[in-house]
Amino acid sequence: MLVLLAHPPGARSGPFADSEPGMCVSDLRARIGRAHALVSHHVQVLLRAGLIRRVRRGRWSLLQLDTGRVAALGDQIAALASDQFQARHPNPGAMDAPLPAVAVRIGSSVMPVVPLAPSRPVPRGGGSGTDTTGPSSW
C-alpha cells in the first residue's frame, strides 16, 4: 500500500488533480484486489501509525504518504539494524556490496522497490519491542 501511495499508477477516482499524490480506498482496493473492509482496516493501521494522512473533499478521502514520517521510520530501522549488526560483526568490511533492487507484486501490478541504505543484512532475533519510554517509540 505504501508503494502504491508513493507512486499512484494511472487514473484515480474522485475530485483530485492529477498532480496530487495519493489514492482513495476504492482505488487501493481495485489495485490490490482485496476486500474493501480489509483494505480499510490496513489504511486505519497506517493512519494510526502516522505513515499516511487523509485529505477530505466532501465524501472523498485522498490517502497520502507522509514522506517525513516514513523516512524517519526508515532511519530508525536502519539504526537498529546497524547497532545489532555491529554488535555481532565487529569487522563488517566484506559486506559493503549494495543489495540489488527487487520487484513487489501488488495485485496484477509489479512495483520496483529500491533497498534502503545502508545495505547491510538485518540480524534475526532481538528484544520484545514493548519499550514505550522514548519519544519515538512505536
99-127 pLDDT, tens digit each: 556 555 555 555 555 555 544 554 555 44
How far apart are alpha carbons 41 and 46 in whole angstroms?
9
**pLDDT at residue 38 above 50?**
yes
34 backbone φψ class: left, alpha, beta (φ>0; ψ -120 to 50): beta
- The reported pTM is 0.57
Mean pLDDT of 69-90: 81
Mean pLDDT of 26-30: 90
CATH number (3.40.50.300, 1.10.150.20, 1.10.10.10, 1.10.10.1100) of 1-92 reads 1.10.10.10
Per residue in 46-60, pLDDT (tens digit) is 999 999 999 888 888
Q: Regarding beta strands 52-57 and 109-113, do their DSSP bridges make them parallel or antiparallel, or are they unpaired?
A: unpaired
Domain ranges of the chain: 1-92
Beta strands in the chain (DSSP E): 52-57, 60-65, 102-106, 109-113
